[in-house]
């Protein structure tokens, strides 16, 4: 069947059209996305009318694209920017009234759980006990386990866009501000680190989504042009060497780096600080970069549900 998967993230609205069949890898057929930046359309914790209008317009256009591409069904979900907004229900209600589409809000735990499922299916059972990390625009997801359902899965408000909005009001932070931010991030990550650590070291640790992919590319990983099957990793040693260079760069200089788009350049430094904290606190020398993430997890779970009804 052909499915449309509408992902309303903190940075981007993304419609992925896939040909999906139970027992087979979802095959991307078309992609349509816009930089909504909902995490930046917040005023006193609520999504602004400008943000709501942008979301409704994107949703309407995504529906038209899905219809043109022959989608039988649409799976629409939103993550942390909408989830954490004080007016979340009102935002989704207005979008539903204007477009007719109901968008599901994923909890942080479900976001981590579904991302884990996607990475497990991509890497397979040979990965053994698996840890998965995902830095999104609004949140950091962490999960671990030996099966397809993680033993632990949780989310922290440490997304790259969120931290950029909260702390990077100027192009570059001074040394004291960087030290305080780094201290805060590490304390937040370490607070519940025992949820993963008490189960023992993983056989494999993986990361997914745009921030980790960009950092891996900066540190020398293969470009996207080499395709999803190219092996990519983010070594902690390389990241540690790069962070002082990144913090000294202007946004224009950051946007010139490989794998960094101008619209996300301001998020690279906070994303790098979160990635470094995760790898250091969990004592990981490297993370394997997985091309599958939350969207694939949503598709896979839906196919599993359909298969269970047959």
Percent of the chain predicted with pLDDT > 90: 88
Phi, psi angles (nearest 5°) of residue 284: -110, 125
- The set of residues, in sequence order, having a beta carbon less than 8 Å from that of 128 and lying 6+ positions away, is 146, 202, 203, 204
Look at 196-205, 259-268, 298-307 and tell me which has the smallest mean pLDDT.
298-307
- The set of residues, in sequence order, having a beta carbon less than 8 Å from that of 209 and lying 6+ positions away, is 115, 134, 135, 136, 293, 294
- Tens of pLDDT, residue by residue over 112-167, are 999 999 999 999 999 999 999 999 999 999 999 999 999 999 999 999 999 999 99
Counting DSSP H helices and E strands in the chain, the numbers are: 12, 13
Q: What is the mean pLDDT of residues 53-57?
A: 96
- How much is the pLDDT for 252? 94
291 band by pLDDT with thresholds 50, 70 and 90: very high
- How much is the pLDDT for 309? 44
Q: What is the mean pLDDT of residues 168-184?
A: 92
- Tens of pLDDT, residue by residue over 203-225, are 999 999 999 999 999 999 999 99
307 band by pLDDT with thresholds 50, 70 and 90: low
| pLDDT, mean over the chain | 94
- Tens of pLDDT, residue by residue over 23-43, are 888 999 999 999 998 887 888
Give the Cβ contact number of residue 102 at 10 Å: 11
- How much is the pLDDT for 141? 98
Q: What is the mean pLDDT of residues 263-287?
A: 97
- How much is the pLDDT for 126? 97
Delimit the domains of the chain by residue range.
2-105, 108-294
Q: What is the mean pLDDT of residues 2-15?
A: 94
Q: What is the CATH number of domain 2-105?
A: 3.30.420.40
CA pair distance 212, 138, nearest whole angstrom: 14
Q: Which of 51, 37, 29, 52 is nearest to 261 (CA)?
A: 37
CA pair distance 246, 229, nearest whole angstrom: 28
The pTM is what?
A: 0.94
| Contact yes or no for 234/286 (Cβ under 8 A) | yes
Q: What is the CATH number of domain 108-294?
A: 3.30.420.150
Sheet holding 152-156, edge to edge: 152-156, 140-145, 130-135, 204-208, 286-290, 233-235
The H or E element containing residue 255 is helix 251-255
């Amino acid at each position: 069947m052909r499915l449309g998967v509408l992902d309303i993230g903190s940075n981007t609205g993304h419609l992925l059209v896939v040909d999906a069949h139970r027992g087979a890898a979802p095959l991307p057929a078309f992609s349509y996305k816009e930089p909504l930046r909902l995490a930046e359309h917040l005023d006193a914790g609520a999504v602004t009318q400008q943000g709501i209008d942008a979301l409704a317009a994107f949703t309407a256009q995504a529906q038209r694209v899905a219809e043109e591409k022959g989608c039988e069904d649409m799976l629409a979900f939103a993550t942390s920017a909408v989830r954490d907004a004080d007016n979340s229900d009102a935002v989704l209600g207005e979008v539903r009234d204007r477009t007719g589409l109901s968008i599901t809000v994923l909890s942080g735990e479900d976001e981590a759980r579904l991302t884990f499922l996607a990475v497990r299916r991509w890497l397979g059972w040979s990965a053994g006990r698996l840890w998965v990390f995902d830095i999104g625009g609004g949140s950091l997801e962490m999960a671990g386990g030996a099966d397809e359902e993680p033993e632990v899965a949780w989310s922290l408000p440490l997304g790259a866009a969120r931290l950029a909005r909260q702390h990077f009001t100027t192009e570059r932070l001074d040394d004291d501000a960087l030290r305080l931010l780094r201290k805060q991030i590490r304390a937040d990550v370490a607070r519940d680190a025992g949820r993963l650590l008490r189960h023992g070291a993983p056989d494999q640790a993986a990361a997914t989504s745009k921030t980790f992919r960009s950092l891996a590319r900066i540190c020398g990983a293969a470009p996207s042009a080499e395709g999803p099957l190219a092996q990519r990793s983010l070594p902690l040693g390389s990241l540690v060497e790069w962070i002082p260079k990144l913090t000294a760069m202007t946004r224009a200089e950051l946007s010139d780096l490989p794998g960094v788009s101008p619209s996300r350049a301001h998020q690279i430094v906070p994303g790098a600080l979160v990635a470094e904290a995760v790898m250091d606190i969990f004592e990981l020398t490297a993370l394997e970069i997985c091309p599958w993430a939350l969207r694939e997890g949503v598709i896979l779970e839906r196919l599993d549900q359909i298969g269970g009804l047959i």
